[in-house]
Amino acid sequence: MYDNNPTLMGIRKEIDETKQGEVFFKETANDGGRHFYIESYGCQMNFSDSEIVASILSEVGFSPTRNMENADLILVNTCSIREKAEDTVRQRLRIFDKIKRNRPGTMVGVLGCMAERLKSKFLEEEKLVDLVIGPDAYRDLPNLVATAEDGEKGVNVFLSREETYADISPLRLDSNGVTAFISIMRGCDNMCSFCVVPYTRGRERSRDCYSIVAEAKDLFENGYREVTLLGQNVDSYKWQHPDTGEVVNFAQLLEMTALVHPDLRIRFSTSHPKDITDEVLHTMARHENICKYIHLPVQSGNSRVLNLMNRTYDREWYMNRVEAIYRIMPECAISSDIITGFCTETEEEHKDTLSMIEWANYSMSYMFFYSERPGTLAARKYEDDIPQDVKKRRLSEIVRLQNQVSFKHNQADIGKTFKVLIEGDSKKSDQHFKGRNTQNKMIVFPKVNGLKPGDYVRVKVNDATSATLIGEVSSEV
């Protein structure tokens, strides 16, 4: 599959020889062994990390359970990007504490970004946890569990410059058996002034391409038909072969994973506007199985606010990248992240964000008002001076406009026929399937005999809401 690409030919043997473990699991809550229960919050990277944690625990005799009251070890994988996420975790910890009281010997651990940021608070003030483990310390879990079992606190929040967990085969938790995440890099070098990620996940480092492609190949052979390549900024992926010095960038990695099999769909998240290149876009256009969907966070539509956010691009640069996407892939869908009410943002600057939503024609967006995070550049340098009621009103305007744009975006698909990967039953009816098209739009349609999750099917769209396309299996070839 690599015969026409000299960059890829030399690594065929290494990829084929890279071993990946079993990706399925069955709950074994009654086997008499030890069990762990894990909850994940925040970004897709956290959910991917939880699967790495599950794999590490399984190697030392822990089995997963979906019932926290059966667990010997309760873990919560946390997010620090917004205050609300941290409040949710604190509420969950109080619930876990009640279980500990009713079941002596149960251990509770906090993983991820919140663990790194609030380690002292958890240990000294909260007194609700036995383990505090940062994103780069998961290999140390067995030792930390043993420490906690001996009555001491198990703590490791060390941030690594090398750790990528490349050799660990994730244990796919709550998987539909069709779609899966593959982490391709860790950390972030972009010091956005509002963001805690560089402080909680450390510096950027890329996982070797051999293990990434091998994991994609293994997933396909085990029945998966879609993988999402994950990183805080996938476009800055850059891995150098330690022996030959050969460098593989993100566009090349995309092609390598696309060539695993034409029936394996490739998605990725998240892109940074300063780094997404025309090479990436042309690679996407060249391969049918690389989905025509890009999540391209804008955060603000105003250049002055973008500068305060330290996003390292301005409005014009962002618009140039959007224009390039639509020029190279006219059918591509673009989604975004938006923060309103950032420090000193004026009404006119807020309107610039509204105008960007319409101009870029986002298929959907994740929208929030600014939440100051302790320790960030913005918290140290700028006053959080936009009143809460103004933030909420601006967010309401953004959400309302995005819903209108999304509805119009989906209405334009009525009458079109798409190739859809069936993911499972619709949430509302077991008589309907759900699946996504290449643009990452969810399509719901009546079941047809002979079809099952993991199959591709052509679906004609008959109706649409702002969030979902509604259709039926097409007879068109």
Q: What's the one-letter identity of residue 261?
A: H
Mean pLDDT of 316-337: 98
pLDDT digits (tens, 9 = 90+) for 202-223: 889 999 999 999 999 999 999 9
CATH number 1.10.3720.10 given to 417-473: no
What's the chain's average pLDDT?
89
Has residue 11 got a pLDDT over 80? no
pLDDT, position 26? 42
- Please report which confidence band the pLDDT of residue 265 belongs to, taking 50, 70 and 90 as the band edges: very high
Q: How many angstroms separate the CA atoms of 16 and 211, rounded?
A: 10
φ/ψ of 268, rounded to 5, equals -155, 155
pLDDT digits (tens, 9 = 90+) for 357-412: 999 999 999 999 999 988 899 999 999 999 999 999 999 999 999 999 999 999 99
Q: Do domains 25-156 and 179-411 have the same CATH topology?
A: no
CA distances from 40 to 158, 244, 412, 434 (A): 20, 39, 35, 24
pLDDT digits (tens, 9 = 90+) for 419-430: 999 999 999 999
Nearest partner of 247 among 204, 189, 290, 208, judged by Cα: 208
φ/ψ of 139, rounded to 5, equals -65, -25
Nearest partner of 112 among 181, 199, 23, judged by Cα: 199
CATH number 3.50.50.60 given to 179-411: no
- Please report which confidence band the pLDDT of residue 196 belongs to, taking 50, 70 and 90 as the band edges: confident
Q: How many angstroms separate the CA atoms of 98 and 86, rounded?
A: 19
Indicate the pTM of the whole model.
0.87
Q: Where do the structural domains in the chain lie, given as residue ranges?
A: 25-156, 179-411, 417-473
What class has domain 25-156? alpha beta
Peptide bond into 270 cis (omega under 30): yes
pLDDT digits (tens, 9 = 90+) for 136-172: 999 999 999 999 999 898 999 888 888 989 889 899 8
Percentage above 90 pLDDT, the chain: 73
**Angle at Cα 92 formed by Cα 86 and Cα 97, nearest 5°?**
125
Percentage above 70 pLDDT, the chain: 91
| Pair type for strands 73-78 and 107-112 | parallel
Q: Which residues contact 127 (CB under 8 A, 6 or more apart)?
A: none
